[in-house]
Every structure is written in structure tokens, then in C-alpha cells.
Structure 1
Amino acid sequence: MKIPLGAYQTNCYIIGNTDNKKIFLVDPGAQGKELLNELNHRQLEPQAILLTHGHSDHIGAVQELVDTYNIPIYMHPKEVPFLTDSELNLSAFQGLDIQVHGTIHEVIEGDTIFYEQVPIKVIETPGHTPGGISFYMEGILFAGDTLFRDSVGRTDFPYGSFDDLILSIQTKLMNLPDETIVYPGHGPETTIGYEKKSNPFIG
């Protein structure tokens, strides 16, 4: 399930199943009160937050969720400083000071997080940010701001690297099965196979 949030319409994803109210949240980026209302309306019970990276449009609702549900955050160690630095997380450029404090579980390439018995593999995909990661479940990829339909993530922010981004996509994501559905941080979903054929940044 996808819930676009905030001015940048960041895609917040809910990992769950119809038989279980316990869920994981991927990149809850803004509109914390609205998101909490939606979760309460659906009687969903968040168990953890997975962050692809630490930009403000992906972490804006995290503190409210942590305060409400007392749940941990999974993210790459290089992104942890973004949680408490408004210039790194870019909220300062919006006149805000978004900070997040809570229980952090640092994850790196090769680590596995389990939703119930379903493995979620961590793939390091730096470029948009130094510690950007993607989360892979069988047939599904949560790509954050690394890969979009017909495009790729911006690298003109502090510590971004276009070369690293393209390397991440070509050596990591393009090795996934073509039928893998890609759920990006913004915009519509796509597939690995489609991007191999149509994405102008991937050659």
C-alpha cells in the first residue's frame, strides 16, 4: 500500500498482509498526524520504520510515529547523522529543523530484516546520499530516491554522487530479476525490466 505524503508527495509504503494488522512502514516522510489517523482508521499496528535515506521528505513523520508506537528505525549507519542535522537532512532549506531521536538499528549490505517470516534484504545503493539503501523482498524493491520510472535520483544535494548512483543502479539493481516491481520514493512504480529498456540514464 502506498500513501503519498507532503509537498513532495513522498511515497510512504506499508508492508503487511490482509491477515495481520502488524506492519512495517517505509519512508514516512511528512504529515504525521494524517498518517497516524490513517493507521488508526485501518487499525494497523506499526512494528518498525525502514528508511532508505535521511532526507527530510523521507523522515518528516518519523518522530511522531516513534513517540506514538515506540518502534525502532532501520537505516544505514552513514545516514544516522542526517536525523539530527537539519542541513544534512535539508529541512533547514525549508525553514525547518526536523530532528529524529529513537532506537536505531543500523543495517548494511547483506543484512536481512524479517517481517513475520518474510525476509527483507538490505542493498546498499549510495549516490543520492552516501548511505542510501534499498529494501528487497522477493519480487519487490523499495528503491527510495535511487531509481524512478524513466529517471534516477538527484545528486546535486550535499554529499550526492552521480557516479556512485549510476554504479549502484548498474551493479546492484539491474542484477535483480526483470519482473521485480520497483516502488520508488516518488512517482509511479516501475519494473527492473522496463528500466533496462527505457531509462535514459542506464546504458
Structure 2
Amino acid sequence: MKIDSIRVGFISTNCYLLCDEETGVCALIDPGDKPEQVADMVSRSGCRLEYILLTHGHFDHTTAVRPLLEKYPDVPVYIHEKDVTDQPPKHMDMMFSRLPEHNQRYYKEGDTLTLGSLTIRVMETPGHTQGSVCLLVGDVMFSGDTLFRGSCGRTDFAGGDPKAMLASLDRLAALPGNYKVYPGHEGATELDYERRVNPFMTRRLSL
């Protein structure tokens, strides 16, 4: 397993490329902007793009999806259905506008996707949005805007819910073992570190 990333857009969103080098396939996670740079990251990997995976529907994680589908027209795009709208896409949209049936896919709690020899497990973590998810692959977690280093995602946007966020962080804290955490913004962290020092997570653990 190899993970590459670039930061895109004016909010510096992390776009990740998850590669299974053994079988030569890859998945894009949260292509938020700069489709040309994102496509170049895919090309440089030498792997075939199998999925585009979205941790939630906010524009800073999804803006490059449609331009990328012009280059990769058959690639399925996965998102939780609660973060999808039937409205036409708008600038800085807070929900993801539904794609044509050919591309649109949905995942939910407990679903798994196979990426070559890798298994991607979906964990629903509402709070930042109703349809936020974390993606677990081995000992790696792509946490979107649920868990950051020392913090968590905002809950004051439409669809945000502070109580749901605390419950989601409680579920993450209860996961067995340690995870390398790749968040939607800023640098990577580890779940054990967050269990010890993240005030939103330690508060929940102390209840």
C-alpha cells in the first residue's frame, strides 16, 4: 500500500491517492480542486484509477470530481447518500450534486470496497455533515473533516451536529489498535495520540 497526497484549493484540502502497488490499481480520496494536478498524481503513480471516494459532500473536497470524470468517464464515485442533492452544482456548495447514474455510487456503515489486495471499510461519522464517513484500510484511516490533529471538524454548517460529532469521535476512540490518521486538512496524526491529547476526544472519553 502506498499513499500519495497533494493540497488543493484555497482551504488547502488534502487529496489522497491510495495505491495497491501489488495489483497496480488506485483510488482518489477527496479531489477538492486542481483536477490537472490530481490527474498528474494518478498518472505518475503508474496505477489504474478504480474509484473516487468522498468523505463528505462539501465543495472543498469534491470540486475536481466532474472535471476528472471527463478524463476518467467510467470511474465510479462513492459518497454517503445523505450528503447528495439533486440540485445543480453551484460554487462553494455545501452538498454534492448528484452525478449521472453511470458514475454515482453510495456507501454506508460497514460497507467494504476491494482495491486490488486492499479492503476499504466504511465507517459513518456524522457531525461535520450528516453523511460524513471515515475510510479504514488496514492500519490507516482517512478521516475527512471528522478528526484532525488536536481538533475536529466544524459543526456550525448546514447539516452539522455537535452531539453527533462527539458520538463519532467516541466511536473512533473505541476502535481497537492504533491508526495512522490522514485528515482532510493539515498534517497526519495517529489515533493513539489523539486519544491522549485531543480535547474533543479526551472530553468524550472522560464522560
Q: Is 1:25–1:48's contact at 8 Å kept on the other side of the alignment?
A: yes
1:3 matched residue in structure 2: 6
In the TM superposition, 1:1-203 aligns within 5 A as: 1-70=4-73, 71-81=75-85, 84-86=88-90, 89-90=93-94, 101-102=99-100, 103-170=103-170, 172-202=171-201, 203=203
Runs of 4+ aligned structure 1 residues displaced above 6 Å come to: none
Q: Greater shift after overlay, 82-91 or 64-73?
A: 82-91
Letter in 1 for 2:179: T
Q: How far, CA to CA, are the matches of 1:82 and 1:153 in structure 2?
A: 25
Q: How far, CA to CA, are the matches of 1:186 and 1:83 in structure 2?
A: 27
TM-score, structure 1 normalization: 0.88
Inter-CA distance 42–4: structure 2 relative to 1 (3 Å threshold): same
Q: Is 2:150–2:197's contact at 8 Å kept on the other side of the alignment?
A: yes
Q: Is 1:177–1:192's contact at 8 Å kept on the other side of the alignment?
A: no
Give the total of aligned pairs. Answer: 196
* Structure 2: stretches of 5+ with no match in the other structure: none
Inter-CA distance 120–79: structure 2 relative to 1 (3 Å threshold): same
Q: Secondary structure at the match of 2:194?
A: helix
Q: Is 2:54–2:61's contact at 8 Å kept on the other side of the alignment?
A: yes
Alignment RMSD (CA, Å): 2.1
Q: Is 1:178–1:194's contact at 8 Å kept on the other side of the alignment?
A: no
Inter-CA distance 36–7: structure 2 relative to 1 (3 Å threshold): same
CA positional deviation for 1:190? 0.8
Percent identity (aligned) = 36
Q: How far, CA to CA, are the matches of 1:34 and 1:124 in structure 2?
A: 29
Inter-CA distance 179–80: structure 2 relative to 1 (3 Å threshold): same
Q: Is 1:112–1:120's contact at 8 Å kept on the other side of the alignment?
A: yes
Q: How far, CA to CA, are the matches of 1:167 and 1:82 in structure 2?
A: 29
Q: Greater shift after overlay, 110-119 or 75-84?
A: 75-84
1:94 matched residue in structure 2: none
Q: Secondary structure at the match of 2:38?
A: helix
Q: Is 2:23–2:117's contact at 8 Å kept on the other side of the alignment?
A: no
Letter in 2 for 1:30: D
TM-score, structure 2 normalization: 0.87
CA positional deviation for 1:22? 2.0
CA positional deviation for 1:85? 4.8
